[in-house]
Amino acid sequence: MYSKFLKILESFGAPFDSQQQELFKQAFIANSDPLCVTVNIGRLYNIRVASQLHKLYDKVNMYEEADNPDLVDNSGYLGLFYREKKQLVPISESELIEIIIKNNKLAPIMKIIKEIDSDNNGYVTNQELDDIFKMNYEEELGNRELKHVFKRFASIQNRILIDYKRLKDHLTKRVFDE
């Protein structure tokens, strides 16, 4: 019955590729009466929305690192999808604070972060923060691993997003306390 219905649709100029046929098959409701074909239009709409979401997620270049189950934003602030793999040396929060104390660039860093937070939700990705800090402290942080320092400020719902306002408040407090 389903194949007959597809042929009828195609005769009206509505050809389907194999992926669209599979989606349509999910909305087709089989019934015992061969003369009465039922299609759940609401389900077709839901399938369309789900398909659009899958296409959107396929465009986002995210991956998981082997030793880190959290997703990683590959493009970051610099928009580099393909990055040179290099061995980074972990940095402690105390070392980062010392670097900031020697040459405090928190104000320009936060200005850049605020500019890229176009929807003003208070979050940027871990990779964006990493890129911005390394741009401002190129010599000191160029070969250092910063992401684990930012991790404690991650969103509960999405571990890739960092609450930069909490990070700023924490770093500011630590810088002026020491």
Provide the pLDDT for residue 163.
92
pLDDT in tens, 9-58: 677 776 667 777 676 666 665 555 556 656 666 666 666 666 666 665 56
- Residue pair 125/63 in contact (Cβ under 8 Å)? The answer is no
134: left (phi over 0), alpha (psi -120 to 50) or beta: alpha
Q: What pTM did the predictor assign? A: 0.55
Provide the pLDDT for residue 37.
59
Token pair 């999405």 in the structure block, residue = 158
pLDDT in tens, 141-174: 988 989 889 989 988 888 888 899 999 999 999 9
* Cβ neighbours, 10 Å, residue 140: 18
116-120, 122-126, 140-144: least confidently modelled range: 116-120
pLDDT in tens, 53-112: 666 556 555 555 555 555 555 555 555 555 566 788 999 999 999 999 999 999 999 999
Question: Where does CATH 1.10.238 sit in the chain?
Answer: 63-177
The more confidently predicted of residues 24 and 133 is 133
Residue 107 is encoded by which pair of tokens?
A: 């104000």
- By CB atoms closer than 10 A (0-12, 13-18, 19+), residue 170 is middle
- CATH architecture of the domain 63-177 equals Orthogonal Bundle (1.10)
Query: Rounded to whole angstroms, how far apart are CA atoms 125 and 154?
Result: 9
- Residue pair 132/77 in contact (Cβ under 8 Å)? The answer is yes
Q: At what angle do helices 18-27 and 2-11 cross, to 10 degrees?
A: 120
